[in-house]
Amino acid sequence: LFYYLDPSSTSQQDDNRILTRGQRRIDGADALHLAAPRHESNVDAIRNKPEKAVEQVFPVDKETANQLRKLMETQAFGPGYHGQGGTGVTVPEDKKDIKEKRFLENQFNVVASEMISINRTLPDYRSEACRTTGNSLKTEGLPTTSIIIVFHNEAWTTLLRTLHSVINRSPRHLLEEIILVDDKSDRDYLVKPLDAYIKKFPVPVHLVHLEDRSGLIRARLTGSGMAKGKILLFLDAHVEVTDGWLEPLVTRVAEDRKRVVAPIIDVISDDTFEYVTASETTWGGFNWHLNFRWYAVPKRELNRRGADRSMPIQTPTIAGGLFAIDKQFFYDIGSYDEGMQVWGGENLEISFRVWMCGGSLEIHPCSRVGHVFRKQTPYTFPGGTAKVIHHNAARTAEVWMDEYKAFFYKMVPAARNVEAGDVTERKKLRETLQCKSFKWYLENIYPEAPLPADFKSLGAIVNRFTEKCIDTNGKKDGQSPGLQGCHGSGGNQAWSLTGKGEIRSDDLCLSSGHVYQIGSELKLERCSVSKINIKHVFEFDETVGSLVHKKTGKCVTGADQRVTLDECGVGRKDQLWQLEGYQN
C-alpha cells in the first residue's frame, strides 16, 4: 500500500482530520509521489520546483515533461485536495464561466474533477452483511483478472482517478494487468504524457492507441484479445471503485464460469463529483426502444435471493460498462458483435445472449463502483448519432428477439430505414450455441418486462367513428392520451393488447385512473410489474369491436380528441375499435 501524500498539507493534524470522518486510512499516492519518498523536504522540493521533480520521476523528453507538469499542477498542486470521503465540491464563483465552458469537453464538470484528489478516500459503502460474509471477502485461491478500460477523449483527472482507485483498492495478487485502449482520441495528453504516467504504477498497465476510431465495442475486443488474466473485467474510464469491490465479482465468476457479474453502480455527480450511493435493490431491464433501463427488483427475485443481503441479485440485463466475465466463456459465447459501431446496443445484446445461451447475469451487492453519469454524450458519432444507435439496436433485435423485434420497430419506426448490415454470422452463432428463444427469456428471466411475452395485438388502435388513433401524445404517468389522425408509423400510436388484458405503450398502461366517473378520460399509468392492476384490464370483443374496461364495465369511447370510458351502448360507432395485428 502507498501512503497518501498531500503536498498542500503535510501535518499529522490534517491526516487526522480526514481520518476522524470515519473513513479508512488514506490509501494511495499520485504517481508523482510513488517515486518520491515521504519526506517533508521532498514535498517542498516538489512544491517549489515541480518541473525538476517531474523530470526526475518521468524520464521523458522536455516537451512531455512540461505537458505532464501542467497536467499534474491541476491535480496535485492546484486548488487543493477536495472531495475526501466522497464529498463533492462547488466551483468558486469566479470560475463559473470556465466551468461552464469546460463542461462541454466531457459533458461533466471537469473543473470540479480537477479540484478533487485523484486519490481521494471513499467510505466503505458495503452493507454489514458484506463486510462479515466470507463469500464476498475471499482473496485466496482466486484467479487473476485483466481490467479493460476503453476510452475516447476521456478527461485526464477522471481517467487517472479510475486507475488510482483500481490500483489502490484491489488486492495486488488478483490483478494481472490493466489494459487501456485509446479509441483514437484527439487529445495530446492521452498520448505521451499518459504513456509516461502509467509506467509508474506498481501494476502492469498497457496502453494501446488505436489507429482508427473503432467504437467502444471493437475497442474492448482489442483489449480482451491482449488479456492474460483468467477473468476479464470491463470498466468505463470515469469510475471509482471502492473497498472490497473486486473480490466478490471474481469469487462469483470463479465459482461458475458462466456467470457474468456486475457491481452496484453508484453515482458520481456530473456537477460536484460527490459519490452518491445507489439502491441495492435495482436491476437492469429495457424498454420497447431497446434502451437499457433501471427498475426496482421485484419481490419474486428478492425472495429467490433470500435474507442474506450479501448474495447477488439475478438481473435480466446489465448496464454494459462494468462487469466481470470468464475470458474463455466470453469467447465461447461470441464476445461482442463486431458489426456494432461507436456506442450503444452491445449491453442488451450481451445480456440477451448470456441468458439465452446458458449463462446468467447478476449484480453483486457487495461490490460498489461509482460512475459519472452524464445527461448527454460528449463525443461525435461518425455516421450520425441516431443512425448508429438504431443500427446497433436493430442488429440486436434481428439476431436475438425473434417475433418480438416488432415491438422495437413499432416504437422506433426510423430504425426500419437503417441498414442493420449482415447478421448471418451472429445468427449462425445463435444456432451453433443452441440458444433458447426470446420468448423463453421473457417468460423465465424477465416476466416483468415492458415487452409482454404473451400479446394479442401490436400497433395502432383505430376508432371506427372518428377513424383516429389512440395516441400517447407523448404524455406521461398520470396524464391522458388522446385521439389523433392515424399516421401508420407506430411511435406514440403503438399499443399492445397483452394476454393479461393490458393495453400498453411500453411501460405505460391505459387505465380508468385514480377516480372514475362516467365519461371521464382514460389515463396513462405505469403498468404494474407483477400482480396485474385491475384498473388496467380490458376485454376486446373482436366480432363487435368493443373494448370493455373490466373493473367498471364501461366501454372505451372515442370522442373528438379524447378517449373516455362511457356507458356501453348498442351500435355506438364511437365505441368500436380496430386493433392492428390482432390475433386471438
| Interface residues toward ligand LR7, by CB under 6 A | 150-152, 154, 183, 215-216, 219, 236-237, 265, 292, 319-322, 342-344, 346-347, 371, 373, 377, 379
Check: CB of residue 267 under 8 Å from CB of residue 239: no
CB-based contact 540:583 (threshold 8 Å): no
For the bound state, the minimum distance from the C-beta of residue 344 to ligand LR7, rounded and expressed in Å, comes to 4
Give dist(CA 28, CA 186) in Å, integer. Answer: 29
Residue (386 or 518) nearer to ligand LR7, CB? 386
- Distance in angstroms (rounded) separating the CA atoms of residues 190 and 415: 35
DSSP state of 309: T
Shortest distance, position 319 Cβ to Mn ion, whole Å: 9
The nearest distance, CB 364 to ligand LR7, in angstroms, is 15
Bin 493: left if φ > 0, else alpha if -120 < ψ < 50, else beta. alpha
**Least distance CB 78 / Mn ion (angstroms):** 24
CA angle (165 as vertex; 132, 372 as ends), nearest 5: 100
* Complex with Mn ion: residue 389 or 449, whichever CB lies closer: 389
324 beta partners: 233, 261
Instruction: State how far the Cα of 302 lies from the Cα of 125, in Å rounded to an integer.
Output: 21
Task: Select the span of 229-237, 356-364, 530-538, 553-561 touching Mn ion (CB under 5 A).
Answer: 229-237
Report the distance separating Cα 231 and Cα 155, nearest Å: 27
Cα–chain center distance at 531: 27
Q: Of 236 and 362, which CB lies nearer to Mn ion in the complex structure?
A: 236
Which is nearer to Mn ion, 84 or 106 (by Cβ)? 106
Q: Is 183 in the site for Mn ion (CB under 5 A)?
A: no
Collapsing DSSP to helix, strand or coil, 393 comes out as helix
User: Residue 365 is placed in which grid cell?
Assistant: 451487492
CB closer to ligand LR7, 366 vs 369: 369
Task: Pick out residues in 410-469 that bind Mn ion (CB under 5 A).
Answer: none
Axis crossing angle, helix 50-57 with helix 62-72, rounded to the nearest 10: 120
Q: Using the minimum distance from each CB to ligand LR7, give the nearer residue, 154 or 337.
A: 154
346 interacts with, out of Mn ion, ligand LR7, none, CB within 5 to 8 A per kind: ligand LR7
C-beta of 263: minimal distance to ligand LR7 in Å? 10
* Separation between Cα atoms, residue 274 and residue 511, nearest integer Å: 40
Size of the site for Mn ion (CB under 5 A): 1
Interacting residue with Mn ion among 114, 176, 183, 236 (CB under 5 A): 236
Q: Nearer Cβ to ligand LR7, position 53 or 412?
A: 412
CB of 28 to ligand LR7, least distance (A): 21
Minimum distance from residue 212 beta carbon to ligand LR7 (Å): 11
Q: Tell whether residue 182 is a contact of Mn ion (CB under 5 A).
A: no
Q: Is 574 in the site for Mn ion (CB under 5 A)?
A: no
Q: Are 568 and 555 in contact (CB under 8 A)?
A: yes
With H, G, I as helix, E, B as strand and everything else as coil, classify residue 207: strand
Closer residue to ligand LR7, CB minimum distance, 55 or 346:
346
The CA dihedral of 182, 188, 193, 198, to the nearest 10 degrees, is -10
- Taking CB under 5 A as the binding criterion, the range among 223-231, 235-243, 248-256, 279-287 that sits at the site for Mn ion is 235-243
Verify binding: residue 243, Mn ion, rule CB under 5 A: no
Q: Which residues bind Mn ion (CB under 5 A)?
A: 236
